[in-house]
Structure 1
C-alpha cells in the first residue's frame, strides 16, 4: 500500500480567493472572546483560540487586500485599507501567548478586518 499526495503550488492564493469565508462561527467566537470578563482557561486553550482567530484574520486580510487592489486609484477607501492592512500584518507578526489578552487582541483584529471588508463591498460613496 502506498500513500500518494499532490503538492499544490498556489503562490498567488487564487484557490483561496474562490472559497467563501466561514464568517458566522468566527464572528460568534469573536463575540464570545470579547465578552470575557475574568476567564479561567488553561494557557494552551487561550493559545488555541488565538491560533484559530489568527488563521481567520489572515484569510479575511487576504480578502480585504484583494478587494482593495481592485479599487480605482481615485477611491479613497484604498488608502485607509492599506493602513489597516499594515497594522494587521504587524499585529499578526506578534507571537501568540497563552493569555486572554492575546486572544482578545486577535478577536479585535478579526472584527476590524470584517468592518473593513464590509466597507469595501459597499458601493463607493458618490463624489461631491
Structure 2
C-alpha cells in the first residue's frame, strides 16, 4: 500500500466557502442545549457538546466574515458583523469547561452568529 497523501493548501478558505453549512442539526442542538434546566450530564459530555458547537461557531463565523467583506464599505450590516465577530473571537478563545454553562454559552454564540449571517444575506430594501 502506498504511503502517499495529498495536502490541501487553501489559505483563503475558498473551498470551505463553497460548502453549505449543515444548519438544521446545529440549530436543533442549540435549541436543546438552551432548553436545559439541570441535565446532569458528565463533564466530558458537556465538553463534547461545547466542542461541537465551537467548531460550528467557527464555520459560521467564517461565513459571516466572507459575507461582511463583500458588502459596500458604507453598509452598516458590515460594521455590526465586525462587532459580532470580535465578540465571537473573544468567546471562542475561552477554554472549554465541562459544564452546562459553557455549552450554553457556545450555543448562544452559534445562535448570534446565525442571526448575523441571516441579516447579512437578507436583501437590502429599496429606498423610498
Q: Please classify the TM superposition score into its range, dividing by the shorter chain length.
A: over 0.9
After superposition, what is the alpha-carbon deviation per residue over 1:21-59, rounded to whole angstroms, capped at 9, x for unaligned?
Answer: 000000000000000000111000000000000000000
Q: Superposition RMSD on alpha carbons, in Å?
A: 1.0
Output the TM-score relative to the length of structure 1. 0.96
* Aligned counterpart, 2:16: 16
The 5-angstrom pairing of residues 115-126 of structure 1 reads: 115-126=115-126
Correspondence for 1:105: 105
Deviations along 1:66-108, one digit per CA (max 9) or x if unpaired, are 0000000111111111011000000000000000000000000
Size of the aligned set, in residue pairs, is 128
Residues 75, 124 of structure 1: 8 Å contact kept: no
Unaligned runs of 5+ in 2: none
1:60 aligns with 2:60: yes
- Unaligned 5+ runs, structure 1: none
**Residue of structure 2 equivalent to 1:4:** 4
Cα separation, 2, equivalents of 1:63 and 1:33? 23
Taking structure 2 as the reference length, what is the TM-score of the superposition?
0.96
SS at match of 1:54: helix
Distance 2:97 2:63 in 1: 26
Runs of 4+ more than 2 Å apart: 1-4, 125-128
Matched, 1:28 2:28: yes
